[in-house]
Structure 1
Amino acid sequence: MENPLVLGVDIGGSHITAGLINLGERKIISTSIKYKEINPHEKAEVIINAWCQVIEEAYAGWNVREKRIGLALPGPFDYENGICLIKEQNKFQSLYLMNIRDEFVRRLNVKLYNIKFVNDAEAFLRGELFAHPPGEQSVLGITLGTGLGSALCLKGEVSDADLWNTPFLDGIAEEYLGGGWLITRYHQLTGVRLPGVKELSARVNSDQKAKQVFGEFGHNLARFIDSQINMHRLDQVVIGGKISHAFDHFSKELTANLLHREEMVLIRVSELKENAALLGAATEEFDRKLNRQEL
């Protein structure tokens, strides 16, 4: 049987990445990967058109018998029916209550049942653990970007942990562990508002205030992880998302604030990076069909 291709798509708060997955070999076809930055405050038509453009570019040049697409998106989202429920998270407000699956069916010439949605953090952890099987370990996966994503692997089962709105410090976890906190905190200390975390990261070696902000972020992240270790008896924590690229800037504070623990808990950065979500989104549902030879 010919190895089927499934398109894995990772939609974040400010970007979309798409790439074809060879399910038989469970490998990402690197030459098919396409990326585009997205303004999450645009009108619905602009956002959907940009998503469809990247998906079509990823398929370009590949002769597939039938398009199959697995998409990883942030919540809240009705993953079974494909309806966006994001309303008050400073992104995708224009997509609220829109049926994204129907839009893709109409615009991309793909069958309804060949479009699957999964939580982005869950897809990230599924993809990462495929590359590094955890055995019997309990694993927390967190994605740090414009918001906070989270997933748990307990007794071999991966599920969305939905920790973004967990009570934390003087608010909820996402308010302290997303990119917005880093930018706002730097502005509080300096009066300068940077466009993003990438620009803040570039200042660390020459700007003491930038270094301080990442240190405080690492301290906050340690407190959050510590609470989850206590709750789930974790063996491992895997960190992904755009902010993980700046891990060296906050890892010292993170690890220092976890040294009090008697048990050893592995804290590591994703090796697959953004590709983990592509792999997890494409394989979660369609791989089950492959095993039943339904593709």
Structure 2
Amino acid sequence: MTHPSEPDSSEPHSVSRRAVAVALDIGGSHVTAAPVDPHLRAVTAAPVRLDLSHDAPHDTLIGGWAEAALAALAGAGESVTVTHLGLAVPGPFDAARGVSGMTHKFRALHGQDARAALSARLRGTPLQDTPILFGNDADLFALGEWWAGAGEQLDTIGVTLGTGIGSGFIRAGQVQTGGPGVPPGGELWNTPFRDATVEDAVSGAALTRLTHRHLGVALDARQLAALPASQSGPVWTAFGQTLGEALAPWVQAFGAQRVVLGGNISRAFRQFSDSLQSRLPPGTQVRQSRHFENAALLGAAFLRGPELPQH
């Protein structure tokens, strides 16, 4: 007879299981997936990247998502419990219903129940019956930085600067898509600015127009960053000031304490951060993304926020 304080060698030893979320970021040309440890607030294995064009057939898209998710799970190691499968997707997309409203991309998914299709594709795999949650990719970039990055869990506006501009508004760990200081859907790109829109003024194309105006040659952000500061400085200063003036009314109305920048243009953050900061209200600090491509994965992991550790 075994003493109550001693383990019974006739029974299998219990194995402590580690909780992870499996997070996916759905892009126009590829899907990225990784396991995220909610307690460490970190991506715990090298992300899996699978080439997958947005114009692929429905079954190819869903199959690619399933393949990437299972590969990410395999990278998480043994003895893990998956809390959920979180997907960062472009919009328009009805996250609650799991239905795409996109017609410019992912046409094969338009009006289809992506949650049901993915769940069916995962039947008979280790991810069978795992809850599947969706969120807008720009929102989840901001949410990931709020939870585990440069937002530092302060009221945050996340902005991605690239070919276009994406945005997300986060208060107390919740994505805000309306209310004081929040444009419809949390989308800044099409809000009016200088007789046009914010995206017209601060996208990659806008930066290229600035280089042509100041330098007489059209350059992208990477080419501009490679120039000596004596040449590139005036362009970056003008870009930062314009970005600050475009953001300032929203920052003021929302009461944002942090503005976090991601996307390709923000790789040159040091070149324009001072001029941008000078145009923002006092008490708001602008920061470069801490996680860049991984930020949306972290945000997808935090989609079950109330159940996850925040500090």
Question: What band does the TM-score fall into relative to the shorter chain?
Answer: 0.7 to 0.9
User: In the alignment, which residue of structure 2 is the partner of 1:265?
Assistant: 284
How far did residue 231 of structure 1 move?
A: 1.7
Give the TM-score, by structure 1 length.
0.75
2-structure distance, mates of 1:106, 1:191: 52
1:11 to 26, 41, 49: 26
CA contact (8 A) 2:119 2:128 kept: yes
Please say if residues 121 and 143 of structure 1, whose CA atoms lie closer than 8 Å, have aligned partners that are also in contact: yes
After TM superposition, the structure 1 stretch with the greater mean CA deviation from structure 2, 62-71 or 20-29, is 62-71
Answer yes or no: is the 8 Å Cα contact 2:133–2:303 preserved in 1.
Answer: no
Cα root mean square deviation, aligned: 3.6
Alignment counterpart, residue 166 of structure 2, candidates 149, 174, 179: 149
> How far apart are 1:122 and its partner, in Å?
2.6
Mapped to 2, the partners of 1:24 and 1:4 lie a distance apart of 8
* Partner Cα distance (2:270, 2:160) in 1: 16
> What is the SS of the residue equivalent to 1:274?
helix
Residue 3 of structure 1 aligns with an amino acid whose one-letter code is R
Counterparts in 2 of 1:167 and 1:39: CA distance versus 1, 3 Å: farther
SS in 1 for 2:277: helix
Give the C-alpha shift of residue 4 in structure 1.
2.0
Matched, 1:127 2:152: no
CA–CA distance in 2 between the matches of 1:114 and 1:289? 14
1:97 corresponds to which of 99, 102, 111? 111
Question: Could you tell me which residue of structure 1 aligns to residue 267 of structure 2?
Answer: 245
Residues 229 and 54 from structure 1, CA distance in 2 versus in 1: closer, same or farther, beyond 3 angstroms?
A: same
Matched, 1:204 2:225: yes
Q: Which residue of 2 aligns with 1:34?
A: 48
Name the aligned partner's letter for residue 219 of structure 1: Q
Gaps of 5+ in 2: 1-15, 178-185
Residue of 220, 227, 230 corresponding to 2:242: 220
Match of 2:103 among 87, 110, 120: 87
2:25, 2:176 → 1: CA distance? 17
Of the three residues 204, 211, 233, the one matched with 2:255 is 233
Between the aligned partners of 2:235 and 2:145, the Cα distance in structure 1 is 28
Number of paired residues? 278
Letter in 1 for 2:202: L
| TM-score for the superposition, normalised by structure 2 | 0.72
**Structure 1: stretches of 5+ with no match in the other structure:** none
Give the Cα–Cα distance (whole angstroms) in 1 for the partners of residues 131 and 143 of structure 2: 20
State the percentage of identical aligned residues: 32
Cα gap change, 1:16 to 1:180, in 2 (>3 Å): farther
- In structure 2, relative to structure 1, the CA distance for the partners of 1:105 and 1:175 (3 Å cut) is farther
Q: CA deviation at 1:108?
A: 3.2
- The answer to whether the 8 A contact 1:205-1:211 is kept is no
Letter in 2 for 1:168: F
The amino acid that maps onto 1:122 is: D
SS of structure 2 residue aligned to 1:81:
coil
Q: Cα deviations across residues 235-268 of structure 1 (Å, max 9, x unaligned)?
A: 221112333223234334423444xx5x232111
